[in-house]
Structure 1
């Protein structure tokens, strides 16, 4: 573990213990990674989305700071929670936008990493959320893997650490979840 990861974990532990000043120390340590996660979320959004990655980071961070004491097990858990909050912010915005205008979407990539450019298909963020809710009912772990990998950009190793499973299991579940989601979205 490098010193930056170690420092983040130490600050998160202070935060879990109720140290209110830990928030001030945390933001400079995690900002670059939060910005990367937000940019990944925004790449999947429609081109005319008015929300920028920086604004998404700040909105998510304000929600994180406003939450009652959350006990983050490590930096990967923190980033998984952050990504989930960003996804929820974008989903809420999509629902508001849908009330104003129909058929807006994002680009969902359900292919292998080396085939990303060739296998893009537009999908509605709300339809994706509905499909993920259905997947949760069938296999909660696979749904969590989709959230962390697709929305959070976490590696298979980081997801394995958060869920306490092997990277091979993450890879197998990720492949199965992508296939299931592709099928569910094709029929929606």
Structure 2
């Protein structure tokens, strides 16, 4: 795995972007671009979708508002990007679902509510989005952990660093979130 770029330069670039420097946001995004591509690649491999990695990263950037993005630091930028990737995939799933012809395609599914066990449940991306919205209402941090872990592909230690909490708290919230999601799915 590639070593992430130091946080300070990205944080400085984001501060310049918030101050009105139009090129700074592009430079900050470019600094984390390879990590975002890795995240997108993992997500798309899990989904077996025909979305291109670069297209997902670029669509997420556009979804974030590009130069108008007001991320505070590198971790915040990565978390916002993971959320934007989720939104892009949800929008794509909605578009596919609303397509009257269907083109004979199978439903877009995600596999990973039970990521720790070898058997991965297939979950429709729209259903997962609704479940995450319910979880967000019940426990915002747990929903953010699911989003970062599932859509961002981040490990527990990375999530703990991003959210400023301990690994143990991430594991506890992850277990709680999985239990909530499985209960909501009726499993």
Shorter-normalised TM range:
0.7 to 0.9
Aligned to 1:105: 108
1:172 matched to 2:172: yes
2:158 corresponding residue in structure 1: 158
1:85 aligns with 2:88: no
Structure 2: any 5+ residue segments left out of the alignment?
none
For residues 155 and 15 of structure 1, do their structure 2 counterparts lie closer, same or farther at Cα, with a shift above 3 Å needed?
A: farther
CA RMSD of aligned residues (A): 2.4
Give 1:64 shift: 2.9
Q: Secondary structure at the match of 1:120?
A: coil
CA distance 1:69–1:18, change in 2 (3 Å):
farther
Is 1:32 aligned with 2:34? yes
User: What is the aligned length?
Assistant: 181
Residues 7-63 of structure 1: CA deviation (Å, up to 9, x unaligned):
222222222222111033224311101101111221232x3x332111011111233
The 3-state SS of whatever aligns with 1:44 is helix
SS in 1 for 2:22: coil
The residue number in structure 1 matching 2:60 is: 60
Instruction: Find the counterpart in structure 2 of residue 133 from structure 1.
Output: 133
Cα pair distance change 1:9/1:95, threshold 3 Å: same
Q: What secondary structure sits across from 2:110 in the alignment?
A: strand
Deviations 1:72-101 (A, max 9, x none): 232111101001001101100101101123
Post-superposition shift, 1:183? 2.7
Partner of 2:7: 5
Mean Cα displacement is larger for which, 145-154 or 20-29? 20-29
TM-score scaled by structure 1? 0.83
Q: Measure the CA separation in 2 of the matches of 1:178 and 1:147.
A: 12
Q: What is the DSSP-based 3-state SS (H/G/I as helix, E as strand, rest coil) of the residue aligned with 2:68?
A: coil
CA distance in 2 between counterparts of 1:131 and 1:59 reads 23
**Structure 1: runs of 5 or more not aligned:** none
TM-score for the superposition, normalised by structure 2:
0.84
SS at match of 2:6: helix
